[in-house]
Structure 1
Amino acid sequence: MTIVAALELGRRRNDGSTLSRKRITSSSSVFEVLQPIIGDLSHEEFWVIYLNNSNRILEKQQLSKGGITGTLVDVRLVLKTALALNAVGIILAHNHPSGTLKPSKSDKQLTQKLKVAAASLDVKVLDHIIVTEKAYFSFADDGLL
């Protein structure tokens, strides 16, 4: 009876987690996921969305929390989590409390650094999104990736 109960609990857990995994289909779907979390903050935060082979979210993770004008990102932590989750793709995201959608020089450099490092581990950086309260900027949509 205990084994049957444990199997049923496992089946229910698997059913629930599969249904709750949102599929990322575009930069706007990333914005829909992250805007409620970081869109109206008064400080910068850097988040990573880890995806499986079907572009379903395995995990959303805040990587760093900074000040009004910036935050630090450790490439090794991004990739450590990607490997632990068996992610095949990642989406980088951070907010700009100022409301500007233009990526800074350091935003572009970090994106390239993560792209090269991830590629060496067969993990693809699919996009880097800058989120503000009402809009977003996508590196992939703008051809910067």
Structure 2
Amino acid sequence: MKQNEFPLSAVAEIKLSYHPHFKANERPKISEPKQCYKIFMDNWDLGLIEIQEQFKIMLLNRANRVIGISEISKGGIDGAVVDARLIFAIALKAGACSIVLVHNHPSGNLTPSKHDLNLTKRICECGKLLQIDIHDHLIISVDGYLSMAKEGLM
């Protein structure tokens, strides 16, 4: 064997694991955007909400109980890069059946941009392929939120 060659068996094994801290029936159940907003705000770094755009997801089980929240990215004042592959890698690892997307607008303006709408559409299309529903995409600020699902933008 040459010095730079490796045997075909020299590959890393990949295992999936998930260790929840609460029983499924103890987790909050989501039935409306206002509940999502409250949970996100309770878990948001309020020192950054008016300075830096952040994008997070809420992972839900089949009964719409919260599995957890995961930060996808932090950006600048007016944008954050969002990689759909990362969203769905996390969702698949956690065994999520559905997702709520959320990001803040540091300006406080809750109107979705064209980029926000295109991103939401693309993530929803990816979710359909994986049978993971995207329930909503919230845009949040300290003063309130906009639900894209409630506004008919999804």
TM-score by length of 2: 0.81
In the alignment, is the contact (CA less than 8 A) between 1:39 and 1:95 conserved in 2?
no
Quote the RMSD (CA, aligned, Å).
Answer: 1.9
1:57-68 equivalences under 5 Å are 57-68=66-77
Matched letter for residue 51 of structure 1: L
Question: Which residue of 101, 107, 110 maps to 1:101?
Answer: 110
How far off is 1:85 after superposition? 1.2
User: Greater CA deviation, 105-114 or 79-88?
Assistant: 79-88
SS in 2 for 1:120: helix
> Is 2:97 the partner of 1:88?
yes
> Is 2:38 the partner of 1:29?
no
Cα pair distance change 1:98/1:21, threshold 3 Å:
same
User: In structure 1, what is the equivalent of residue 61 of structure 2?
Assistant: 52
User: In structure 2, what is the equivalent of residue 141 of structure 1?
Assistant: 150
Which structure features the higher share of helix residues? 1
In the alignment, is the contact (CA less than 8 A) between 1:39 and 1:134 conserved in 2?
no
Cα pair distance change 1:39/1:119, threshold 3 Å:
farther
In the alignment, is the contact (CA less than 8 A) between 1:99 and 1:133 conserved in 2?
yes
How far off is 1:58 after superposition? 0.6
How far off is 1:17 after superposition? 3.4
Runs of 5+ unmatched residues, structure 2: 1-18
Cα pair distance change 1:65/1:105, threshold 3 Å:
same
In the alignment, is the contact (CA less than 8 A) between 2:57 and 2:87 conserved in 1?
yes
Cα pair distance change 1:28/1:73, threshold 3 Å:
same
User: In structure 2, what is the equivalent of residue 43 of structure 1?
Assistant: 52
User: In structure 1, what is the equivalent of residue 3 of structure 2?
Assistant: none
TM-score by length of 1: 0.85
Aligned structure 1 segments of 4 or more residues deviating by more than 4 angstroms = 13-16
How far off is 1:131 after superposition? 0.5
User: In structure 2, what is the equivalent of residue 71 of structure 1?
Assistant: 80
